[in-house]
Amino acid sequence: MKILVAGASGVIGRVLVPMLTTRGHDVIALSRHNPSDTRNQESRVRYMMADVFDRSNLLSIFERECPAAVIHLLTDLKEQNSAANARIRDIGTRNLVDAAKAVAVNKMVAQSIAWAYEGGEGAATELTALDYAASLPRKTTIDGVVSLEGAVKEMPKHTILRLGTLYGPGTWYERHGAVAQTVYDGKMIATGAITSFLHVVDAATAFVQALVWPDGPVNIVDDDPASALVWLPEYARELGAPAPLRNEEPVLKTRAVSNQKARDLGWTPAHPSWRGGFLS
């Protein structure tokens, strides 16, 4: 199948593209910059530079290439700016969906997040409401997610992967990543906030499998949601960083997330827990 991967040079895309070609797919790898390392480039991948905010250029690429499916991995977090990320979720997704619909692309698989659910007891499933009532600054993120998911649902076939917090190569959690630096500096405080993690390789595997999954959202998280009071000291130990300060006050609005639906669809994480493996 010919698949256009938007955001192919990012943390998931770099792992996903070779997985797709190994399975016999042809990939149009789209981002604004040429990859710095094309040693592994092979004939099944064609790199294309385009800015998703340039609608007419995007449309001409779709008209020329006519992909059968689109994988949407666009994020704008390089500067850790949630407003920029909400903008690409909103306007970038709008442009991508319009271009895909214009040439009758059948299927889109898109990246969303697993931490947009409303607060409450028990693990959130895909039937749990998103946190529509969130106030700023969280509202910026929720609005971006709602806009992205709404646009992707306009595609004839659409699967939305609500990913957990990514760790592994290239992420903020690797040894020299942005989160690691905050922990080395002793600036990250362990609270009761719950995180559902996801290794970047397991994220990529889910995108491959989701090409044939039914419509709708699917949570892609590991089996081991944990409070920062538990995972952060372990992460600091792995890094060789100082033990973090603790704040044991209860934290609202964070909850565990269930991966039961993904498991029922046949996805099994190779990294079922973050324990001892943050730097893997």
Ligand X SMILES: NC(=O)c1ccc[n+]([C@@H]2O[C@H](COP(=O)([O-])OP(=O)(O)OC[C@H]3O[C@@H](n4cnc5c(N)ncnc54)[C@H](OP(=O)(O)O)[C@@H]3O)[C@@H](O)[C@H]2O)c1
Binding site for ligand X (CB under 6 A): 7-13, 31-33, 51-53, 73-78, 88, 113, 163, 165-166, 170-172
138-152 vs 93-102: helix crossing angle, rounded to 10: 0
CB of 186 to ligand X, least distance (A): 21
Task: Specify the residue, 9 or 219, whose C-beta has the smaller distance to ligand X.
Answer: 9
CB of 10 to ligand X, least distance (A): 2
CB of 163 to ligand X, least distance (A): 4
**SS3 letters for the chain?**
CEEEEECCCCCCHHHHHHHHHHCCCEEEEEECCCCCCCCCCCCCEEEEECCCCCHHHHHHHHHHHCCCEEEECCCCCCCCCHHHHHHHHHHHHHHHHHHHHHCCCCEEEEEEECCCECCCCCCECCCCCECCCCCCCHHHHHHHHHHHHHHHCCCCEEEEEEECEEECCCCCCCCCCHHHHHHHCCCCCECCCEECEEEHHHHHHHHHHHCCCCCEEEEECCCCCEEHHHHHHHHHHHHCCCCCCECCCCCCCCCCECCHHHHHCCCCCCCCCCCCCCCC
Task: Specify the residue, 84 or 246, whose C-beta has the smaller distance to ligand X.
Answer: 84
Task: Specify the residue, 82 or 250, whose C-beta has the smaller distance to ligand X.
Answer: 82
CB of 268 to ligand X, least distance (A): 19
Task: Specify the residue, 79 or 264, whose C-beta has the smaller distance to ligand X.
Answer: 79
CB of 81 to ligand X, least distance (A): 9
Task: Specify the residue, 33 or 39, whose C-beta has the smaller distance to ligand X.
Answer: 33
Task: Specify the residue, 10 or 269, whose C-beta has the smaller distance to ligand X.
Answer: 10
Task: Specify the residue, 170 or 233, whose C-beta has the smaller distance to ligand X.
Answer: 170
Cis peptide, bond prior to residue 156, ω within 30 of zero: no
CB of 33 to ligand X, least distance (A): 4
Residue nearest to ligand X as judged by C-beta position = 10
CB of 86 to ligand X, least distance (A): 12
